[in-house]
Structure 1
Amino acid sequence: MENFNQTSTDFILLGLFAPSRIGVFFYILIVLIFLLALIGNLSMILLILLDTHLHTPMYFLLSQLSLMDLIYISTIVPKMAYNFMLGNRSISFTGCAAQMFLFLTLAGAEGLLLTSMAYDRYVAICFPLHYSTRMNRRVCFLMVMGPWILGSINSCAHTIYTLHIPYCRSRAINHFFCDVPAMLSLACVDTWVYEYTVFVSTTFFLVFPFTGIMYSYGRVLLAVYRMQSGEGKKKAYSTCSTHLTVVTFYCAPFAYTYLHPRSLRSPAEDKILAVFYTILTPMLNPMIYSLRNKEVMGALRRMTQRICFVKIR
């Protein structure tokens, strides 16, 4: 691990893989995943924006999820790929601060937004007659703005504190982005008090939301179980299971990394787990919420037909 003088303000990101043929293969794969996530999330945002049939609370929340995923993966992957290709692994103090702030804001906001989406499904299936009153414009606005505001406040506090910790040894971060647990290992002061605040905020932004999501989907599955239609049951079970799989892919590795004691973690393990919630989930979300959704696929067909009609004219 490289060492830097105390006067240097730059950090070094050691990356996900060492430079090798296998490393090149995996980085190409990650860039392809990034492009899929970019296309998928941009398509979802544009489709929901342009198709009036999708101007409902559920799709409004889904457009926000796509926006978060789009910014989320763009915060990490381009810098990681750029550093790997050029062999220059440094990141400026300002760049590290910006990356950390955006990452933590979006990470916290997405956990809360996923809870809002689970609540939307819960109301739609368990209280269909009250859906329009429970999911009105004011509620939708709060469900969207609340996660952004709370996530940014939490992120600002963690970013300011983490970047003001004295790093009296190496400035080489054994990770592929400026992540709080990886940076705390470089501190030359005792950070146990701060680590406790990380534990509390992770519980608030990930553990509580995940519990709420499981409760909402549990009630949904119970309501579906009482349905008479066998086809409806099969469709609902399939949808819920895929949604829960993606949510678990996001929350479980994230919570494990941030709640695990620093003495029991390993940098290699942290990096592998981070791939799930920083790279794979933003790619999977648009696929899960679009390809398995007849309304979205219908909107896509209508949009394609419009484009073809305009070209013919």
Structure 2
Amino acid sequence: MHRYLLVALSLLPLATLAQTKKTLKPVVPADTIYFDQDWARTEIPDDRKYVRLIRYGADGLPTGTVRDYYLPSWKKQWEGKLVSEEPELASGLCSFWYESGKLKARGTYSRGQALGDYQQWRPDGTPVKCSSRLVEALPSEQSQIHSSSHGREMQHVFQAVLPSGTTSVLYRFDIRDEGQPPMSWNSAASLALGSMVSGLTLAQLSLQAMRTDARHQQDPTISTQCHYFITTDVEVASRFQQTDGQTPTSGSFLYQTSSTQHEIRPLTVPPGTRQVFFCVKNDNSFTAAIATLSVTAIVQECK
């Protein structure tokens, strides 16, 4: 009896192990990325101030929850999800902490844009009260951009100077061949003030106003071939201008697209950003184009 009991007991770990192997899912190891005090990646041990634990899917994009920590304490600094790293775009519920462990901020994000439930706290735990206002950083600017057959001036760089405290921008961009119906619009600020809708944030009001204004425009009958990108890096913009519209292979880009004739888009900018450059290239072989851009800054003021 004891012999059979011993045999049965000796088989239990094997059976348990076999069952465990069937039920456990493989764990994808997290990559470890170090940052310096300016949140630039670094491999120099003495420069490491933050560390990120992140996993990537088969498509190379972040997957699951991303966590940032202070160094050397390894206390949590941020937790949330990222849909992109270049540019860094948060998604879903995200939380920030002071190194003391107290909550610093929390809110829901959509492609890097904080939504209406975003809330901040001071180190002593008292809530921060913030309000936003609109500032026209570039009310409206037009530029003629020549075709490749012209041999020069096939590109143009729009510059928008942003006020201190800008958290994001709303921009409208349009490019159409010469001879197509002209483009004109009202300012986003004046439209937003006349479109007060309960429950919407200032950014949502402005975006809604711009889209309403755009519906009154006459669409072109011919599509312009073009491409453009947005950057905060003056050197990237300068290289684009000096190389007849060649997109640099390296540098910091907030957004880029091709063959897009009309866009209305909100765009989050890094803290402290004071200027953005819209680098536009006309890809038509023989026809010049007219590009129009307006940029509205959303400035946050907190007490």
Under TM normalisation by the shorter chain, which class is it? under 0.3
Rg (Cα) greater in structure: 2
Q: What's the TM-score once normalised by structure 1's chain length?
A: 0.21
Which structure is higher in RCO with an 8 Å CA cutoff and minimum separation 6?
1
Q: What's the TM-score once normalised by structure 2's chain length?
A: 0.21
Point out the structure with the larger strand share: 2
Point out the structure with the larger helix share: 1
